[in-house]
Structure formats: structure tokens, C-alpha cells
Amino acid sequence: MTTERTGSTAGDPTAGIAVVTGAAGGMGSHIARRLHADGHRVVLTDIDVEAAMQIASGLSPDGSTAQAIKLDVAHRENFVVALAECRDIWGTPSILVNNAALTQAADLMTLGEDDFTRVLSTNTNSIFFGCQVFGAAMADAGYGRIVNMASLAGQNGGTATGAHYATSKGAILTATKIFARELASVGVTVNAIAPGPHDLPIVKKTVPADRLEGVIAGIPVGRLGSADFIADVVGLLTAPNAFFVTGACWDVNGGLYVR
């Protein structure tokens, strides 16, 4: 049984409309560029919309295949508004990459309630309500691909990040399974990617230089990961023929966590 895809680019049955959260830099920008290169029209969302607009204009100067909109992923209503904006631009998205997150290091035993709540609620809300709001729209269309960015920290308790970050990423893995089960019968897949430490500005900002060398030394492959490869994995999981993969977590951690 095949399903008709909504929001496809004319003449290309494999192209659709992709939304990437936290796309203004780092991992999100790599993912947005890969999906755009794959032929999708891409909506780059970020709380820093000006930075997202710069990347979008670089991908598509006339705005025909890349647009940017503001999205604070901490609140459900913002996803509702973002979905409406996407529909106004091109139509119902067929791909959602929930990438946005707060990354913060903190001492476990002195971590305060405000910091804990802010990181936990932002990171889990971003996944849960992204899946809920956009997943429902995809379900109505009969097709969709959702990829949630989890983390090695949610599997092993964290290598160099705070307990609140690790806790939130563990919750993302559970939410991925819940939505995968809910949406499987209506043509929508939901998967997670759990990266270990990657060669990104946020890693170097979070981990002090004197500690980063030790972190790298502890990675079995002896180097930081490549964000371009994560983008490749996103491209694979969002392909039309990825219909048989849902509820999965793809580990990309250099051998730090083997199962």
C-alpha cells in the first residue's frame, strides 16, 4: 500500500517539506543543509531567527526552497503557530527534525531547581510537542518522518554534560518510542539519533579545553564525531523507503556506549 505525499516539490516525488528546529547553527545547520541538498524545501526554525534567516538565504536567495521562522521550542503553542506558518509558506511538512535543545554543564550536587527545570522542560517539551503537533498533521496527511535528536548522555548518564541535560535526553528516548507506536499505523515514523561528543562549537563551549582533551582520549575511536555524518543519518531516516524503521535509536558515539 502506498500513500500520497503532501507538500512535494513538483516533478520530484521524493522531495517534501522539512522542518528543522534549532537550525541557526551547529548540528541543526548541518541537518538543514543536507535535507536541502536532498531536494527538500526546508523551514529552518530557531529562537534566533536572524541567524536562521542568514542560513536560509544562503541556501535559497529567493526563498523558494528555504525559509526561516522563529520558534521557541519550550512551549506547545509555539509549535501550533509554527505549523500554521509552514502551511502558509508551502503546506504541511512531511519531515520534522527535533534538534533544538539547551546544552549545559553543571555540578550534580549543587544543581539548582531553576536550571534543572529550564533545561529539562525545554528539551523534553521540544520533542514531545513537536511530535504531538506536527505528528498529528502528518497523520492527517498519511505520511511523515520525524527524527528526534537524543544523546549519548541520555543512555550513559552523561560524559561531559549536566545531569539535567542527561535526564532530558533520556526522556526523549522514551517519548520517541511512545510516538512511534502511536503513529506507526498512519504512515508516520518516529526515530531518535543519540550522538556522542561531536566536533561542534557547542561541545567546545560546554567542555573546557583542559577537559576536552581527556574526553577525546576516552573515546575508543580517538576523535570527535562528524556533524555531516549525523546529517547523513537524518537523510537516511527521512527517506520514503525508511518506512520499516520506527521507534529506533541510532547510536553514533565512537564506541563510548556499545549495546
Active site residues: 165
Q: Using CA atoms, how far apart are residues 43 and 86, in angstroms rounded to an integer?
A: 7
In angstroms, the CA 43 to CA 144 distance is 15
Cell reading at 77: 503553542
Rounded-to-integer distance, Cα 172 and Cα 129, Å: 11
What is the rounded CA–CA span in Å between residue 142 and residue 123?
27
What does the alpha-carbon distance between residue 15 and residue 38 come to, in Å, rounded to a whole number? Answer: 7
Is 259 exposed, middle or buried, given 0-12, 13-18 or 19+ CB atoms closer than 10 A?
exposed
SS3 of 130, please?
helix
Q: Which three-class secondary structure state does DSSP give residue 195?
A: strand
List the beta strands (DSSP E) in the chain.
17-21, 41-46, 66-70, 95-98, 144-149, 188-195, 249-252
Distance set, CA 116 to CA 64, 111, 119, 172, 187 (Å): 40, 7, 6, 16, 36
Give the DSSP letter of residue 184.
Answer: G
Place of cell 512511534: 180
Instruction: Report d(CA 107, CA 164) in Å as an integer.
Output: 10
